[in-house]
């Protein structure tokens, strides 16, 4: 509804007008098609894993299941990706194979796609370049509850050619904090424990002023690493 959308900064939205004007029937058809594509992809992942078993390679193969982004199916009036909401920024990540001791166990720690390179290198017994920003996930693949305090950074670009600006979002285990054009075009703060749908923007709530200041520091530090 317009009153719900008014709490978010305008750059937060990629899909304009909301839902691209699709009616309910068209939305249902699009969602059904998307689920069909996921089902097809999952089936082919199964074929690959079955082939590894059949060829006797499963015990000596590192498998990383990941996507490059999440996907909106109407949340906040958005479709596809290109936002800094959780639904778009979050992606699946499953690692299996030799060196993964915590088999079948999930971790709630916040990690990044940058961590994949050093993780695979470590599992393969290789030394990655020292300049990488990512960090090996092997400690979490051994103990999913291991201490881990690194946040995850996501960014998108907005505006026409020649006058673009960036949006940056940093995610910790509890909070997501977002700034558009260094905060000049809006800010967002969400409590991911109490509000996983990110329905209430707390950035201008006086009761969360200290959280905003703390998350600003986290964002600046993470961007500068």
Encode pLDDT of 71-96 as tens digits. 999 999 999 999 999 999 999 999 99
> Tokens representing 137?
């996930």
Question: CB-based burial of residue 206 (10 Å sphere; 0-12 exposed, 13-18 middle, 19+ buried)?
Answer: exposed
Question: CB-based burial of residue 179 (10 Å sphere; 0-12 exposed, 13-18 middle, 19+ buried)?
Answer: buried
End-to-end alpha carbon distance in the chain: 39
Nearest to 189 by CA among 222, 156, 149, 218: 218
Q: Torsion over CA of 15, 18, 23 and 27, rounded to 10 degrees? A: 50
Contact call for residues 116 and 63 (beta carbons, < 8 A): no
Q: Point out which residues pair with 80 in neighbouring strands.
A: 72
pTM tops 0.75, yes or no:
yes
> Tokens representing 87?
């639904």
Blockwise average pLDDT, block size 10, the chain, 225 residues: 84 93 96 96 96 95 95 94 96 94 93 96 93 94 94 95 95 97 97 96 97 97 87
Distances (CA, A) of 211 to 6, 10, 116, 144, 174: 22, 22, 30, 26, 11
Q: Cα-flanking dihedrals φ and ψ of residue 152, to 5°?
A: -115, 135
């Amino acid at each position: 509804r317009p009153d719900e959308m008014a709490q978010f900064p305008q750059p937060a939205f990629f899909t304009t007008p909301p839902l691209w004007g699709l009616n309910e029937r068209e939305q249902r058809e699009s969602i059904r098609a998307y689920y069909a594509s996921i089902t097809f992809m999952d089936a082919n992942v199964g074929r690959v894993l079955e082939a590894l078993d059949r060829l006797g390679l499963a015990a000596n193969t590192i498998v990383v299941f990941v996507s490059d982004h999440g996907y909106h199916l109407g949340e906040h009036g958005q479709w596809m990706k290109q936002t800094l909401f959780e639904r778009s920024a979050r992606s699946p990540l499953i690692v299996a194979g030799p060196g993964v001791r915590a088999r079948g166990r999930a971790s709630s720690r916040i990690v990044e796609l940058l961590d994949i390179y050093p993780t695979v290198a470590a599992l393969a017994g290789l030394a990655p370049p020292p300049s990488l920003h990512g960090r090996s996930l092997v400690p979490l693949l051994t103990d999913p509850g291991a201490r881990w305090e690194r946040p995850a950074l996501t960014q998108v670009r907005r505006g026409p050619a020649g006058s673009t600006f960036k949006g940056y979002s940093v995610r910790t285990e509890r909070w997501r904090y977002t700034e558009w054009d260094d905060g000049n075009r809006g800010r967002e703060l969400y409590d991911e424990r109490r509000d996983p749908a990110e329905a209430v923007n707390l950035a201008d709530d006086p009761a969360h002023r200290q959280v905003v200041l703390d998350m600003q520091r986290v964002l600046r530090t993470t961007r500068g690493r």
